[in-house]
Amino acid sequence: MLYTFLKDTAQFFRQHLIALIIITVGLGFLFEVLFVLLQGAFAEFPYAWPLMLLQWVGGVWASAAVVLYVRQSLNNQYLPPKDAITQALPWVLPLAGVQILTGFAVGLGLLLIVPGIYFGVRLALATFYLIDGREPIPDALRKAWTGSMGFGWIIFGGYALIYGVLLLVSQLLVGGLDLAAGYGPLNFIIALIFKPVGAFALIFGFRIYSEAVKQPAKP
């Protein structure tokens, strides 16, 4: 079943690659430029946390835009990338809330390692219940928890594979191109190249979500 979901994800990703690149790389370029321009202004902040926050917001926005694009495409309705980006803006704050609460639960669970992974898997579909299901944040989290039942190993295996490959490739690039020191043009380019991987992961999650919502309601 994992193979089928990954195959379907790869097929959709390939068919919509240009639009997904426009969304993810377009927003990524905007926020990476802001990161570069504001570096000096926040140099005194520990770990430059305002810049980290800025990049995270850009990632949330891109995630919402990808989910809206996938949603419309699966309904056989074309949503231009620029419209997906603009329509995603009102979803940034709610999705940020979902990610913060999910991250908080996972972070607490990671104190014991295994519960953190378990919480992450059980809440992995919350983004889709929020945006596609139009559920309030508490209901999105609750339905993600129940909706993931029966798909746990698929969610874990798929995301572990996707992000495992990403981590391996990124480490090879960091070592081979000496990207670890500072933030230069190569870092900028590599950061943009990897943006569509997030879209691939979201498509995979949406594929599982689309099966989860077909299942009988669980108590």
80-136 confidence digits (pLDDT tens): 999 999 999 999 999 999 999 999 988 887 777 778 889 999 999 999 999 999 999
190: confidence class by pLDDT, cuts 50, 70, 90: confident
- Amino acid identity of 38? L
Residue appearing with tokens 């949503």: 79
Please indicate, yes or no, if residue 192 is contained in any of the structural domains.
yes
Q: Burial letters for 29-44: b for 16+ Cβ neighbours within 10 Å, e otherwise?
A: eebbeebeeeeeebee
Q: Two tokens at 192?
A: 């943009």
Please indicate, yes or no, if residue 142 is contained in any of the structural domains.
no
- Amino acid identity of 7? K
Whether residue 217 is predicted with pLDDT greater than 70 in this model: the reply is no
DSSP class of 194: T
Whether residue 15 is predicted with pLDDT greater than 80 in this model: the reply is yes
Please indicate, yes or no, if residue 219 is contained in any of the structural domains.
no
Please indicate, yes or no, if residue 112 is contained in any of the structural domains.
no
Please indicate, yes or no, if residue 123 is contained in any of the structural domains.
no
> How large a percentage of the chain has pLDDT more than 70?
90
CA 211/CA 81 separation, integer angstroms: 25
**Residue 169: its pLDDT value, please?**
83
Please indicate, yes or no, if residue 71 is contained in any of the structural domains.
yes
Please indicate, yes or no, if residue 124 is contained in any of the structural domains.
no
pTM: 0.90
Report how many domains make up the chain: 1
Host domain of residue 207? 2-90+150-212
CA 201/CA 11 separation, integer angstroms: 13
Please indicate, yes or no, if residue 130 is contained in any of the structural domains.
no
